[in-house]
Amino acid sequence: MIIRTAVLAMATALLASPTLARAQQPGAEPAQAQAIAAERVARNHHERIAAEIATSSQARDLALASVLRTIALERIGESPPDDARSREWREAAAARAGADVLANALLMMGAGGADDPIREQAARRWAQAEPGNIAPLLFQDAGVDALLANARGFDRFDMHMYDQVRWIQSRLLRHPPTAHERAVMFDGEGVPVEEHAAISAMGMWAAVAVPSLQDLLQACDGPDLDATATRRGDCDYLARVLVGASDSSLGRMLGIDMLGRMASNASERAEAQALQRRMDWQMLEWGRIAAEQPREGAPQFTRLLADPQVRTEHDLVERILSEAGVPLEPPAGWRPPR
């Protein structure tokens, strides 16, 4: 899927480090040894700063510390099924989160999965704090039923993606890699600490902070679309909220997909196809522009992330295309490669 390809490409470009890429080339035994060393240093770095961040005892910090420790233990396949310290931090974060939207959103990043009671309770607190937001409902067990029962009460799909990424970046900047850690992880390349923190934060969010969307797609497709007298209208309303009021490309792509599945005449199909074509053009051009820049566009992403006017992923994409002189609308007759 195109939805997160560009984001994950940028995150992978830095998180995997240049050493790991070279280690995969034939006859690269020294590079392989360096890559293993870089992985171990990165693991130790994450484990160290997790403990440091947790000392504040604040809900957001504890939630992030739990994620960082889990990442550290998983980097080289040593993560136990249920690490006691990670679980302790996560439980403490949940107990102190209250109505803090970011704290509860960060708890969506835990390793417990969809059946994790901490995640379920955090999603409920988030939904209570933002009753018009679709996003927290999709993290709950009864998310789709609740969405459809109150479809007209929602006005946005806000994952607080960049709010979370910026906050995580700020915490990572308080605990930067040491000179030795930077030298080993980046093999001597001069990656700025702000860039490392931004891409690490984006990579963490993109990897684990996205809800399951399949149930909503199924409820608004095929026979299920006619399950009740209001289902089609409710699904159409939700789809248009997703297209027009999402803070991530994920939400916009989901809404477009829903409109395409529900289309019942030529006009509706043409509308969905035009929206999809525009989305494909922008995402593919974003990926192309990023690939032509140093470190897959990481410096530009870091600069734009620091701009408070870039609130949504759509804002970011429009700025990137504008800076490259690329129109937001595809050329006449353009079709995406399949």
337 belongs to a structural domain: no
Stated as kind and residue range, the H or E segment containing 258 is helix 249-262
Number of domains in the chain: 1
Q: Is residue 312 part of a domain?
A: yes
Give the per-residue pLDDT at 23: 43
pLDDT computed for residue 4 by the predictor? 39
State residue 52's pLDDT score. 97
**Best CA proximity match to 318, nearest among 278, 271, 268:** 278
- Give yes or no for a contact between 247 and 159, defined as CB atoms under 8 angstroms apart: yes
Q: Is 229 helix (H, G, I), strand (E, B) or coil?
A: coil
Per-residue pLDDT, 6: 38
Evaluate whether residue 330 is within a structural domain.
no
Residues β-bridged to residue 156: 133
Any domain includes 209: yes
Tell me the C-alpha distance between 114 and 211, whole Å.
Answer: 8
Q: In the chain, what is the straight-line distance between the N-terminal and C-terminal CA atoms, in Å?
A: 11
Which structural domain range is residue 188 located in?
5-323
Q: Which of 332, 319, 263 is nearest to 289 (CA)?
A: 319
133 phi and psi angles, rounded to 5 deg: -100, 125
Tell me which residues of the chain have a pLDDT lower than 50: 1-25
Predicted TM-score (pTM) of this structure: 0.87
Does 155 reside within a domain? yes
Give CA–CA dist 283/30, Å, rounded.
37
In a domain, 332, yes or no: no
Q: How many C-beta neighbours within 10 Å does residue 334 have?
A: 12
Domain presence at residue 123: yes
What is the token pair recorded at 136?
């927290």
Beta strands in 27-185 (DSSP E): none
Record the tokens describing residue 14, joined without a space.
């830095």
Closest CA to 268 of 244, 229, 239: 239
- pLDDT for res 186: 75
Whether 331 is covered by a domain: the verdict is: no
